[in-house]
Amino acid sequence: MGFSRRFNDNAGNSGKVRFNGRDTTLAAALAAAGLIVMPGTTLASSPITSIDSENVNEEVRYARQLSKAFRSVASGVAPSVVSIEVTDSAPYHGSAAPGGEAYPGGRGSMPMPPRRGGATGVVIDSKGYIVTNYHVVEGADEILVEFHDGTRVLGTLVGKDQETDLAVIQVEADDLTPARLGDSRNSQVGEWILAVGSPFGLDQTVTAGIISAVGRDQMGLARYESFIQTDAAINPGNSGGPLVNLDGEVIGINTAIRSSSGGSNGIGFAIPTSIVERVSSSIIENGRVERGWLGVAVQPLSDELARSFGYEGEDAVLVSSVLPNTPAAEAGLLAGDIITTIGDEMTSDPADLIRAVGQHDANAEVQIEYVREGQAMVVIASLIERPSNIEEFVRGSRGEVGEVGLIVKPLGVEEAESLGIASGSGLFVEAVEKGSPADEAGLLPGDVLRRINGENLVDPVDFSDAIRKAISAEKAIRVLVERKDLTYFMLIDPETD
Question: pLDDT value at position 426?
Answer: 82
The answer to whether the CB of 198 falls within 8 A of the CB of 289 is no
pLDDT tops 70 at residue 262: no
CA distance 310 to 31: 64
Question: Is 348 noted as a catalytic residue in this protein?
Answer: no
431 - beta bridge partners?
A: 407
- Band (pLDDT 50/70/90 cuts) for residue 32 is low
Strand-strand pairing, 81-88 and 115-123? antiparallel
- Nearest by Cα to 482 from 456, 460, 459: 456
The answer to whether the CB of 228 falls within 8 A of the CB of 252 is yes
pLDDT tops 90 at residue 326: no
pLDDT tops 80 at residue 161: yes
N-terminal to C-terminal alpha carbon distance within the chain: 84
Plot region of 294 (φ>0 → left; ψ -120 to 50 → alpha; else → beta): alpha
pLDDT tops 60 at residue 98: no
Work out the average pLDDT over 443-455: 86
Highest mean pLDDT among 66-75, 83-92, 264-273: 66-75
Please give the residue that has the higher pLDDT: either 402 or 381.
381
Catalytic residue among 23, 88, 161, 165: 165
- 289, 316, 344 - which closes a domain: 289
Residues 181 and 230 in one domain: yes
Question: pLDDT value at position 170?
Answer: 96
- Nearest by Cα to 307 from 320, 322, 318: 318
Residues 298 and 283 in one domain: no
pLDDT tops 60 at residue 82: yes
Residue 393 falls within a domain, yes or no?
no
Residue 380 falls within a domain, yes or no?
yes
How many other CB atoms sit within 10 Å of the CB of residue 335? 12
**DSSP per-residue codes, 120-185:** EEEE--TTSEEEE-HHHHTT-SEEEEE-TTS-EEEEEEEEEETTTTEEEEE---SS--PPPB--GG
What confidence tens digit (pLDDT) does each residue in 176-187 have? 999 999 999 999
Long-range contacts of 23-30 (CB under 8 A, 24+ apart): 24/53, 24/55, 24/56, 24/59, 25/59, 25/62, 25/63, 26/1, 27/51, 27/53, 27/56, 27/59, 28/56, 28/59, 28/60, 28/62, 28/63, 29/60, 29/63
The answer to whether the CB of 447 falls within 8 A of the CB of 481 is yes
What confidence tens digit (pLDDT) does each residue in 35-61 have? 455 555 444 444 545 555 556 788 888
Residues 207 and 233 in one domain: yes
- Give the CATH number of the domain where residue 336 resides: 2.30.42.10
Residues 271 and 317 in one domain: no
Angle at the Cα of 11 (from 8 to 12), degrees rounded to 5?
A: 90
Q: How many domains does the chain have?
A: 4
Residue 59 falls within a domain, yes or no?
no
196 - beta bridge partners?
A: 206
- Nearest by Cα to 440 from 493, 366, 497, 379: 493
CA distance 475 to 51: 99
Question: pLDDT value at position 146?
Answer: 94
Question: Is 239 noted as a catalytic residue in this protein?
Answer: yes
Residues 285 and 298 in one domain: no
- Nearest by Cα to 249 from 185, 295, 153: 185
Residues 373 and 419 in one domain: no
Strand-strand pairing, 427-432 and 384-385? unpaired
Torsion angle defined by CA atoms of residues 413, 417, 420 and 421, in that order, rounded to the nearest 10 degrees:
10
Torsion angle defined by CA atoms of residues 240, 244, 248 and 250, in that order, rounded to the nearest 10 degrees:
-50
- Band (pLDDT 50/70/90 cuts) for residue 315 is confident
* Secondary element (H or E) of residue 395: helix 390-397
CA distances from 137 to 194, 245, 282, 413 (A): 24, 26, 18, 48
Q: Write the DSSP symbol of residue 333.
A: -
Residues 422 and 361 in one domain: no
CA distance 19 to 39: 13
Highest mean pLDDT among 61-70, 96-105, 175-184, 445-454: 175-184
Strand-strand pairing, 292-293 and 192-197? unpaired
Residues 173 and 235 in one domain: yes
Domain with 22 in it: 4-54
pLDDT tops 80 at residue 438: yes
Residue 190 falls within a domain, yes or no?
yes
Name the phi and psi angles at 413, rounded to 5.
-60, -40
Q: CB burial class (10 A; 0-12, 13-18, 19+) of residue 308?
A: exposed
Residues 357 and 422 in one domain: no
Catalytic residue among 53, 187, 212, 239: 239
- Band (pLDDT 50/70/90 cuts) for residue 261 is low
Question: Is 148 noted as a catalytic residue in this protein?
Answer: no
Question: pLDDT value at position 392?
Answer: 61
Question: pLDDT value at position 21?
Answer: 44
What confidence tens digit (pLDDT) does each residue in 330-359 have? 899 988 899 999 998 888 888 889 888 988
Residue 101 falls within a domain, yes or no?
no
Residues 308 and 452 in one domain: no
What confidence tens digit (pLDDT) does each residue in 104-140 have? 444 445 667 788 889 999 999 999 999 999 999 988 8
- 385, 407, 432 - which closes a domain: 385
- 359, 385, 411 - which closes a domain: 385
Question: pLDDT value at position 305?
Answer: 84
Residue 455 falls within a domain, yes or no?
yes
Residues 257 and 162 in one domain: yes
CA distances from 332 to 210, 310, 329, 361 (A): 46, 20, 5, 21
CA distance 471 to 426: 21
Work out the average pLDDT over 394-411: 68
245 - beta bridge partners?
A: 193
- Give the CATH number of the domain where residue 272 resides: 2.40.10.120
Torsion angle defined by CA atoms of residues 346, 352, 355 and 360, in that order, rounded to the nearest 10 degrees:
30
The answer to whether the CB of 194 falls within 8 A of the CB of 81 is no
Residues 364 and 299 in one domain: yes
Work out the average pLDDT over 304-310: 85
CA distance 484 to 420: 7
Q: Write the DSSP symbol of residue 201.
A: G
Question: pLDDT value at position 168?
Answer: 97
Please give the residue that has the higher pLDDT: either 331 or 475.
331
Q: Which residues contact 186 (CB under 8 A, 6 or more apart)?
A: none
The identity of residue 439, as a single letter, is D
